Amino acid sequence: MIFNSIDFAVFLPVVFLIYWSLAKRSLRVQNLFIAFASYFFYSCWDWRFVFLILFSTVIDYLVGRKLMLATNAVTRKFLLGASISVNIGTLGFFKYYDFFLSNFVNAFHFFGQEIQISSIEIILPVGISFYTFQTLSYTIDVYRRKINPIQEFIPFAAFVSFFPQLVAGPIERAQNLLPQFQNKREFSYEMSVNGLRQILWGLFKKIVIADNCAVYANEIFNTSESLNGSALILGAVFFAFQIYCDFSGYSDIAIGLSRLFGFNLMKNFSFPYFSRDIAEFWRRWHISLSTWFRDYVYFPLGGSRCGRIKSIRNVFIIFLLSGFWHGPNWTFVLWGALNAIYFLPLMLAGKNRQNLDIVAKGFKFPSIKDTFSIGCTFGLTLLAWIFFRADSIDHAVDYIGGIASFSVFELPDFVGFGKSIPVMFCVLFFVIVEWIGRENEYAIEKLLLKRRRAPRHFFYYFLIFLMLTFGGDKQDFIYFQF
């Protein structure tokens, strides 16, 4: 049941109505209902994996309770280790078993030894990369005594399975979201309207921008060997907007939906393509994942305060892990490594925290220097995205080789070029709106709010019109595969 489907259009109002009608009853009943609705939502993907998420939830709930009672350091470490083993082990099995197996076999083959091991075609449970990290953050924070373990199981189950962010994030922290399940929620008109506005923007990003860019990105990447350099660059740009709008669109919908139910989720994207350097990009891209790795891997390893060699090691570890988190493919690992290479010079020069404010804050246009910086940063991320999208490392290398030729000065020669021009205009429109709204939570949060209702509503109707008219071939949300 994806967000931009008719099934969800039926599911949401039903759940919304029942949820708020239960608000007058006890908080417990309300939490029980949202947990039930979330498990139902998840079961629509594959009912068998409901037991998996339930198992993960029960383990971490029990570990949390035990951690509260345990005073012995060894026992506490053992409990934390158990939680990490179960979560990472489950994730590792479902996501990486076949990858490690095939690489194991290939390694033997490389040395001239043939071994036969049957692979299992394992189905990847939707959302496993997200909810395992979310529950892990709970047990780690309880271990660190940053939060008290929750006593009741139902709010915890609701926290883990909360349907708006269950299958593709944001990866919430227990410190932020769990207390919201423990506190009474009142219906707020302003919060709900804000939520609807963010859902609208998220749907626009997904349906108009991401799904349309996907058509041409796929065409170009699938036929890259016969295309000229300019087509290949355009393919990379299409993919850059596909993945950004797909993923951030999902996050916007998730955050907007949460607002409808009285919850505030963390921001997951903060206009990353307006970043002036790679460090800023990583402060603005998939914030929930990058801060997770920062807080639970990078800082425990010592961060950047443990000598130069270890700092470099730590940077590579988190970027490689981040790449690997996306999937069992060396292209993702290489994407992570490339980003680490981009990041290191800034860190070593002490310049990774120089662009902390919003670009051109208070100004309509960026300065020439900022424009140049934004362009360079975007170019570097484009290069990395090629590895992310390519089928293999060879494919990525050939793709980049195709760009590095004089054919970049020709007109793009892929078949759909003419049809892609309206999509480019849509992307341009999107970039302009994002630029105008870059100082807000999301682009259209305060757009035309100070004006009368008519221009504002006209803009919303325009977005809906674009969705109905320019909706691309329906594509799965990219991050479902992770």
- Active-site residue numbers? 326
Stretch that binds another protein, among 103-111, 188-196, 355-363, 386-394 (CB under 8 A): 188-196
> To the nearest whole angstrom, how small is the minimum distance from the Cβ of residue 12 to another protein?
12
Binding flag, residue 457, another protein (CB under 8 A): yes
Binding flag, residue 462, another protein (CB under 8 A): no
User: What is the C-alpha separation between 103 and 136, in angstroms, rounded?
Assistant: 28
> To the nearest whole angstrom, how small is the minimum distance from the Cβ of residue 223 to another protein?
7
Site residues for another protein, 142-161, by CB under 8 A, read none
Structure tokens at 297: 């891997």
Stretch that binds another protein, among 118-126, 171-179, 375-383, 461-469 (CB under 8 A): 461-469
> To the nearest whole angstrom, how small is the minimum distance from the Cβ of residue 468 to another protein?
4
**CB count, 10 Å around CB of 380?**
18
Q: State the DSSP string of 172-198.
A: --HHHHHHHHHS-----HHHHHHHHHH
Binding flag, residue 376, another protein (CB under 8 A): no
Question: CB of 289 within 8 A of CB of 130?
Answer: no
Burial of 277 (0-12, 13-18, 19+ CB in 10 A): buried
| Binding footprint of another protein, residue count (CB under 8 A) | 22
Determine which residue in the list 104, 187, 372, 462 makes contact with another protein, applying CB under 8 A. 187
Select 380 or 444, whichever has its Cβ closest to another protein: 444
Expressed in angstroms, the distance from the first to the final Cα of the chain is: 17
Select 43 or 192, whichever has its Cβ closest to another protein: 192
Task: Please give the sequence-ordered ranges of beta strands (E in DSSP) within 323-434, or none if there are none.
Answer: none
Select 150 or 208, whichever has its Cβ closest to another protein: 208
Determine which residue in the list 43, 192, 407, 440 makes contact with another protein, applying CB under 8 A. 192
Site residues for another protein, 3-42, by CB under 8 A, read 5-7, 20
Stretch that binds another protein, among 48-56, 142-150, 393-401, 454-462 (CB under 8 A): 454-462
Place of tokens 């189905």: 123
Binding flag, residue 471, another protein (CB under 8 A): yes
What sign does the dihedral 381-386-392-395 (CA atoms) show?
negative
Question: CB of 203 within 8 A of CB of 4?
Answer: yes
Determine which residue in the list 82, 196, 341, 382 makes contact with another protein, applying CB under 8 A. 196
Place of tokens 């060894």: 74
Burial of 23 (0-12, 13-18, 19+ CB in 10 A): middle
Determine which residue in the list 71, 106, 118, 469 makes contact with another protein, applying CB under 8 A. 469
Q: What angle separates helix 229-260 from helix 211-222, to the nearest 10 degrees?
A: 150
Determine which residue in the list 421, 468, 476, 481 makes contact with another protein, applying CB under 8 A. 468
User: What is the C-alpha separation between 323 and 457, in angstroms, rounded?
Assistant: 41
- Omega cis (within 30) before 170: yes
Task: Please give the sequence-ordered ranges of beta strands (E in DSSP) within 264-349, or none if there are none.
Answer: none
Binding flag, residue 391, another protein (CB under 8 A): no
Binding flag, residue 225, another protein (CB under 8 A): no
Residues near another protein, by CB under 8 A: 5-7, 20, 187, 189, 192-193, 196, 222-223, 226, 415, 457, 460-461, 464-465, 468-471
